[in-house]
Amino acid sequence: MTKEKIKCGIIGATGYAGVELVRILSTHPQAEIVAVSSVSFEGQQLSDIYPNLRGICDMTLEGADEIIPRCDVIFGSLPHGLSEPFAEKCLSHCAVFIDLGADFRLHNEEDYSEWYGKRYEHPELHNEAVYAIPELYRDEIKGAEIIANPGCYPTSVALGLAPAIRGGYLEKGTVIVDSKSGVTGAGRSLTQGTHYPDTNEAFAAYKAGVHRHTPEIEQTLSEIAGEEMKVTFVPHLLPVNRGIESSIYVKLRDGVSFDEVYAAYAAAYENELFVRVQPKGSYANLKNVRMSNYCDISLHFDKRTNMLIVSSCIDNMVKGAAGQAIQNMNLRFGLEESCGLDFVPPAF
């Protein structure tokens, strides 16, 4: 275990994922926040932007270039297209870069160009990057210098389907992913679609079939399967602050029983700290993972159609963003994976 505390810096500390990093790292026993950065609020104290941090993190927000040389690890909580220059500077200063944005998630530059409308400015950096769902890529993360923190929707889907794919239980064909997210998933900048009168007491799909997390979901599932997998992905906006529930529909092969699949899930996640397979007949619920790094999975079966129905729940700000990033930091620096993340979800 690391003797000295890991020196952490956060670029984009005033965004929702950035301030969640501050919240969790503030009580991490083996890490300390030494610097925070924001373009929009440079020169102001973070606690002036988020008064809940008063007396906890009153640091002055600095320029990103100023903080990198003082840190062992930099968390980049940035919109897509901005992370590559910071990753390059981190490498030159021997700092690990953990990117909560999308720039290092996709292996294929053509996919990135198609879905995000940009090209790689530093293609060589992508050879150093590791896509980092801890439960699936643990060994690769331990030696990584650039860590691509997964998207929130893809995390819920990959953890929800990995045991079924690895067990060879599924018929070939399109996977249907029906996901719902809290409003924080849209980020801190206000848009008409996230304006209170438009989201309160409302529920609707958005970006059906064209959401940017689609290629990331397909990339991860295809790697698990060892062959190409396609998904139909439809996200929805829930009138809640945080949380994701993904309902995933896949057809079982003939001769595969629901009991067999359930046993495979129980075995796959038996020793995982943050994945909880629910008892048969129970349903994963956003309420039970809120403010935590847990992923709760429940399994259901439609015997008339031979369809397996997986419900996968995470907190999009924790397991879907800041918590998973810290879990990756713990792995990279040889800490206990649960270090600083072993908080209990509130009951209400």
Please give the Cα distance from 170 to 335 (Å, whole number).
Answer: 36
| 343 secondary structure, DSSP code | P
Q: Which residues have C-beta within 8 Å of that of residue 161, sequence separation ≥ 6?
A: 175, 221, 224, 248, 250, 310
Strands 6-11 and 244-251: unpaired
Residue of 8, 152, 295, 339 marked active site: 152
Q: Is 71 an active-site residue?
A: no
Tokens of 159: 């953890």
Q: Which residues have C-beta within 8 Å of that of residue 45, sequence separation ≥ 6?
A: 58, 59, 60, 61
The residue length of the chain stands at 348
Strand order in the sheet with 295-302: 204-205, 231-237, 175-181, 244-251, 307-314, 295-302, 275-277
CA neighbours closer than 13 Å in the CB half-sphere of residue 160:
32
Specify the amino acid at residue 165: I
CB 144 within 8 A of CB 96: yes
Q: Which residues have C-beta within 8 Å of that of residue 73, sequence separation ≥ 6?
A: 6, 7, 8, 9, 95, 96, 97, 98, 329, 332, 333
Task: Quote the Cα angle for 341-138-164, to 5°.
Answer: 100
Q: Which of 97, 122, 98 is nearest to 109 (CA)?
A: 122
Place of tokens 């619920």: 285
CB 130 within 8 A of CB 148: yes
Burial bucket for residue 307 (CB in 10 Å: 0-12, 13-18, 19+): middle
| Catalytically annotated residues | 152
